Chain A
Amino acid sequence: MFAADSDAVGAFRRIFAEPLGGLGIVLVVAMIAGAVFADLLAGADPFRISPRDRFLDPSLDHLLGTDHLGRDLFSRVLHGGRIALSVALFSTAASLAIGIVLGLIAGFGPRWLDNILILLFDAIKSFPTVMLALALVTLFGPSLTAVIVVVVLVNVPGYARIIRTQTLALKSAEFVAAAESMGAGTARVLRVHILPNVIGPLLILASMDIPVVIAIEAGMSFLGLGVRPPTPSWGAILNDGFTAIRDTPWIAVAGGLPIILTTLGFTFLGETLRDVFDPRLRGRG
């Protein structure tokens, strides 16, 4: 176990050795901290409407000013981060779980099952995301659940395909035959012998997908298909900002900047992870 820890420490050190990787970690940690400690950091209640304080400029009282209902924007951005990150993490985790299981089944199972699953993945993939979102919202009404379902549907086919391709490649590997010859059942072969060898690239891809998920949530909320008001969401704040962009541009900035920073943070982190864990790139220089 000690060695496992030192592996992780080594990986962490390698991430920090890359300047963009360090920046990525800092941004991601800042976002998560902001979301987790939103109540402590914000000071103001994100839901408190105060008609007298509408469209206030940024000041020490209101770091990012206030919106059209006089709500503190800094507080709303922090709480919006909570929604964004929890949607991102929850839906990514769900996509991963489903994608891995389906990918392993498609890659290791019988040929006919593989064909059916591939057909299913392609069918889902062929729907444009926006159409899918609109269809689901028509069915379930705008809600956080709708956002999560859309994200999972969009992500699963890609994840499952990655796992499937790699599982197919490992299916005839000698160590898999060796496990079978020892008497391991299919479940154990998949869980203990195949999964650890196929999951790495997927985790990296997923970390790079998180910003996409945040953008989907923001986009859907922007269009009014996602989080219902008055729940704070970056997309909704951005939308509010656009209606008042001529007089009070900072609202759009307050909604847009966290989206950009989080996207950059996770992208840098994902790219660095990929470089760090790709053995072909390791050991250069």
Chain B
Amino acid sequence: MSELEILDLSVSFATGGGDLQALNKVTFKVPEHRIVGIVGESGCGKSTLIDAILGLLADNGRIDGGEILFEGRDLTKLGAKELREIRGPRISTVFQDPMGALNPVFRVGRQMTNIQYRSGLSKREKARRAAEMLRRVRMPDPEAALSRYPHEFSGGMKQRIAIAMAMMMEPALLIADEPTTALDATLEAATIDLLLELQNQIGCSMLYVSHHMGVIAELCDEVVVMYAGEVVERGTTRQVFLKPRHPYTQRLIECDPARLAGRAEKLPTIPGDIPDLRARPSGCVFAARCSLREEVCGEPPPENVREGHMARCHRAAEN
């Protein structure tokens, strides 16, 4: 069974220069107890996707079609109040900037007991659980940490507190949006270990969004590759990273400088820009930058699925 299932989701934004189609028929699943990674560069629609799942699209945004199924309910059809009951206890989030989750004027302890308001526990019990959660994210001296303010912690520690708060209510799904991007590399490793450990203990699913392919490869069971608001490739992590079928995925993996051993004279790049999303190309979205482009690419490419490994490319059958 899937914890989260996105079906043909399309989202657009009304702008001065016409409608901007940010997501175009996005489809993928996050199975129970699994970690699904979403990888893509700026403008690929990662943030819009998260906003849509959480029901937090900007005022000029609109869901044009599709479903977001979570625990059997379509989130696109729920009202603000019902969504609020899901957001937090059932679907929780960790963002790049931990200060988005922390209120600078309250002590950490107060914030961590406040989010348990639905639990019906006594005040002391809530405080005990908060300290316990901080211990699980390896906060040194958790009891003392409860009475400190967010700004008294380093960036890495703040992110740990944010993770503790997100996991506090044992959600069914954790959405992690570039949670380690602002952290130093040596802290990134520890934070990823921590997320894996907690996900295991709590048994939740995780949607992990990142532009960093090394992290995705290390952490995720399945990968969704997005480009210009479309899912261009989808499969298990081994399928996507070891035998990528879409030219964009192939180029993207080549570009990662961590892959190249030794000094390269010329680093690989993908020339060109993403298409203007106010006037989507009628055919393949990647065609303009693709080195394998041919005439047929002017037509919308079909989803080519083999052994659960999907690529949206006319030439996918060759790979």
Complex contacts, B15 vs chain A, CB 8 Å: 283
| Total count of chain B residues near the partner, CB < 8 A | 2
The complex places the Cα of A131 from the Cα of B15 at a distance, in Å, of: 51
The complex places the Cα of A284 from the Cα of B17 at a distance, in Å, of: 10
Complex contacts, A284 vs chain B, CB 8 Å: 16
Q: How far is the CB of B115 from the nearest CB of chain A, in Å?
A: 31
Closest to B16 in A: A283
The complex places the Cα of A262 from the Cα of B55 at a distance, in Å, of: 48
Closest to A283 in B: B16
Q: How far is the CB of A92 from the nearest CB of chain B, in Å?
A: 33
Instruction: Give 1 or 0 for each of B13-56: 1 = CB within 8 Å of chain A CB.
Output: 00110000000000000000000000000000000000000000
Closest to B59 in A: A284
Q: How far is the CB of B175 from the nearest CB of chain A, in Å?
A: 28
Instruction: Give 1 or 0 for each of A241-285: 1 = CB within 8 Å of chain B CB.
Output: 000000000000000000000000000000000000000001110
Complex contacts, B16 vs chain A, CB 8 Å: 282-284
Closest to B17 in A: A283
The complex places the Cα of A284 from the Cα of B15 at a distance, in Å, of: 7
Complex contacts, A283 vs chain B, CB 8 Å: 15-16
| Total count of chain A residues near the partner, CB < 8 A | 3
Closest to B15 in A: A283
Q: How far is the CB of B155 from the nearest CB of chain A, in Å?
A: 19
The complex places the Cα of A282 from the Cα of B16 at a distance, in Å, of: 9
The complex places the Cα of A141 from the Cα of B16 at a distance, in Å, of: 56
Complex contacts, A282 vs chain B, CB 8 Å: 16
Which residues in window 254-276 of B have CB below 8 A to A?
none
Closest to B60 in A: A284
Q: How far is the CB of B13 from the nearest CB of chain A, in Å?
A: 11
Closest to B14 in A: A285
The complex places the Cα of A283 from the Cα of B15 at a distance, in Å, of: 7
The complex places the Cα of A25 from the Cα of B15 at a distance, in Å, of: 28
The complex places the Cα of A185 from the Cα of B16 at a distance, in Å, of: 40
Q: How far is the CB of A234 from the nearest CB of chain B, in Å?
A: 42
Which residues in window 194-212 of A have CB below 8 A to B?
none
Which residues in window 70-122 of A have CB below 8 A to B?
none
The complex places the Cα of A283 from the Cα of B16 at a distance, in Å, of: 5
Q: How far is the CB of A209 from the nearest CB of chain B, in Å?
A: 30
The complex places the Cα of A282 from the Cα of B17 at a distance, in Å, of: 12
Q: How far is the CB of B19 from the nearest CB of chain A, in Å?
A: 13
Q: How far is the CB of B295 from the nearest CB of chain A, in Å?
A: 38
Q: How far is the CB of B17 from the nearest CB of chain A, in Å?
A: 8
Which residues in window 2-17 of B have CB below 8 A to A?
15-16
Q: How far is the CB of B193 from the nearest CB of chain A, in Å?
A: 34
The complex places the Cα of A34 from the Cα of B15 at a distance, in Å, of: 42
Closest to A282 in B: B16
The complex places the Cα of A283 from the Cα of B60 at a distance, in Å, of: 11
The complex places the Cα of A90 from the Cα of B122 at a distance, in Å, of: 69
The complex places the Cα of A121 from the Cα of B132 at a distance, in Å, of: 54
Instruction: Give 1 or 0 for each of B147-162: 1 = CB within 8 Å of chain A CB.
Output: 0000000000000000
Q: How far is the CB of A30 from the nearest CB of chain B, in Å?
A: 32
Q: How far is the CB of A145 from the nearest CB of chain B, in Å?
A: 48
Which residues in window 219-236 of B have CB below 8 A to A?
none
The complex places the Cα of A283 from the Cα of B58 at a distance, in Å, of: 14
The complex places the Cα of A284 from the Cα of B16 at a distance, in Å, of: 7
The complex places the Cα of A284 from the Cα of B14 at a distance, in Å, of: 9
The complex places the Cα of A282 from the Cα of B15 at a distance, in Å, of: 10
A-B contact pairs, 4 of them (CB 8 A): A282-B16, A283-B15, A283-B16, A284-B16
Nearest 4 CB-CB pairs, A to B?
A283-B16, A283-B15, A282-B16, A284-B16
